[in-house]
Structures are given as C-alpha cells and as structure tokens.
Amino acid sequence: MQEIMQFVGNHPMLSLAWVVLLGAVIFTTFQSRFSKVSDIARGEAIRLINKEDAVIVDLRNRDDYRKGHIANSLNLAASDIKSGNLGELEKAKGKPVIVVCASGTTSRDPAQNLIKAGFERVYVLKEGISGWSGENLPLVRDK
C-alpha cells in the first residue's frame, strides 16, 4: 500500500489518467448492461431479416449508402432519428430494427433514440457495413 501511495505521489498525472480510464470502462460496462439495445452478429441479423422481416436502418451519408448497402435498407441520418423524423420507419414499430453504420461504433445513440420513439426490438450490427462486406455478404449498389 505504501508503494502505491508513493507511486501516486510521484506520478499524479499518470495516476489520474488511470482513474479516469477505469471510470470510463465501468461507465460503458454499466451502460451496455442496462441498455435495451443489443449488439448482434451478422448471422443473427440475417436470421432476423429472413425470418422476422427485420428493417435495416443505414446511418451512413447518402454517397456511402449508394456505394453499397444491405438490400431493402432505409437510409436515415442520426439527426433525423433524434428529431423524430422517421419517415417510412414509423410503420415498422412492431418489427425488429437493425441499425447499421460504417463500423458499428456510431449506431448506439440513434438506436437508443429509436427505443425512446417506441420501437421495442432495436439492435446494432456489430462491425457495421465494414464487417458485413468483409464477409462478402451481398450489398446493393445504386447507380
């Protein structure tokens, strides 16, 4: 214990950084545990699409969406979801919704907003479109 106190006394910035990182890990762990949004793998996403008619919401910008997206997906901006401007998605409240971004890292907040808007089964695709195309799963390209 004395060695730890001596280390903290000699390296206050390093010790503070460690405490902040530990806090961030604990916060994100609790946030994901108590979130109603689940991460799903590509295989489970395919099952939801084929068996339960899941709706795919692609958050990427229009140009990236046109270069390749999952078939029948809706292209919505995260800001539209946040403001409640859901368009066609509003009709799909009873269906599973899979939120997709480029790499799976920016989908959680829009997915949480969909839960707040009354959607019950909202999922985030792990690794996003990059993981989907990395496994050579089909993408539709707009001309």
Q: Please list the active-site residues.
A: 101
User: Pairing relation of β-strands 55-58 and 38-40?
Assistant: unpaired
Task: Report how far Cα 33 is from the mean position of its chain's Cα atoms.
Answer: 14
What's the gap between Cα 108 and its chain centre? 4
Q: How far is it, in rounded angstroms, from Cα 38 to Cα 78?
A: 18
Strand, coil or helix: 113 = helix
Residue type, 93: K
SS3 49: helix
